[in-house]
Structure 1
């Protein structure tokens, strides 16, 4: 995608995550044939079903949706990265399941940067007060943050929110040098995210436009 080179100050670190939730297994197989190999699914059962049908040979599968504790079992053995760790309780449960399966799972903390009540996620000030506990789990390695801007936010507001996330990542990467990822930016706001240092943008059917 040419926009990555155009808007990112470090395009070599940006990954394009194909959000494939709107495509069934047959359509997804065709997308794989087109050369895409990095996918984000938002439903645990669909993740499981697609993995069973398509496999993970040369393909990375991320989980990007709201994760229920009883659905962790569907993804824990194969997931590349969990983007949506939106509470400490969920982190503890993922850590427990990962330990049971002998896995160390990479994860992102979902930050509710706008404090929008309808959105899940951890508030920045709450995270900063208690940040050590999020990095103390033996089987989940927090390697960055994820956020979503409010749907009705203006470009100026989105820029402000994404800038806060960039600052948060920079601040805590000084404490934890493996905290490198910033997942933010979708089809409607990815250019603003690129300007603010995102390393993962989540794009769906817009790739075909």
Structure 2
């Protein structure tokens, strides 16, 4: 991939401007640099440009980058996991992950908690909500979460910090706003019960403006940074 420093900087600054323009609380919003596109050397170049908050969607790639960048000048880089997480791959991320965005079932949550106990870590996570009920997507339906929400907050070593969702790729602006607005209301409802619940991860390169308008605190940006 061509890594044009000036182009990436220009696009990054444009997104920061959009945050100030569209978000009701711009100081709370973080740009998660989706780094699944990069090999080790490309990742190093991006980090040397000054970016420090990344999201990976494959556990083995996450592990490989941790091995390459866990020491020295890169030790303060934050790494989130944003892809679908298989139970047998938790071991690759559990010791260093900043935030798991994709806790898409209670069974996965229990397994993450078990691994976190063994690692003597408190792991931060987001419950992935399938807001559009797409069969092709994983995640928990809102009504199912509400029925049994207490069990998601019962883990000793996993702290649920909020929610993550994805809008359907083919959805129009009105539908996207409807989905994202519902997610904001869900966050509002549960942060009244759990005062540490403060994150809403939604919006990608194609729909981050709608996400900002509806209260996203983390936007996951990849391709938009290279256009």
Task: Describe the superposition over 1:4-58 as per-residue Cα deviations: whole angstroms up to 9, x where unpaired.
Answer: 1111010000000000001111001000011100000000000010111122512
- 2:226 counterpart residue number: 208
1:7 paired to 2:22: yes
Alignment of 1:37-186 (within 5 A): 37-55=52-70, 56-186=74-204
Shift of 1:205: 3.1
CA positional deviation for 1:143: 0.5
TM-score by length of 2: 0.91
**What SS does the corresponding residue of 1:72 show, helix, strand or coil?**
helix
Structure 1 length as normaliser, TM-score?
Answer: 0.99
CA RMSD of aligned residues (A): 0.7
Runs of 4 or more above 6 Å deviation: none
Q: Deviations over 1:68-109 (max 9, x none)?
A: 000000000000000000000000000000001101100000
Query: Which segments of 5 or more consecutive residues in structure 2 lack a partner in the other structure?
Result: 1-15
Query: Structure 1: where are the runs of 5+ without partners?
Result: none
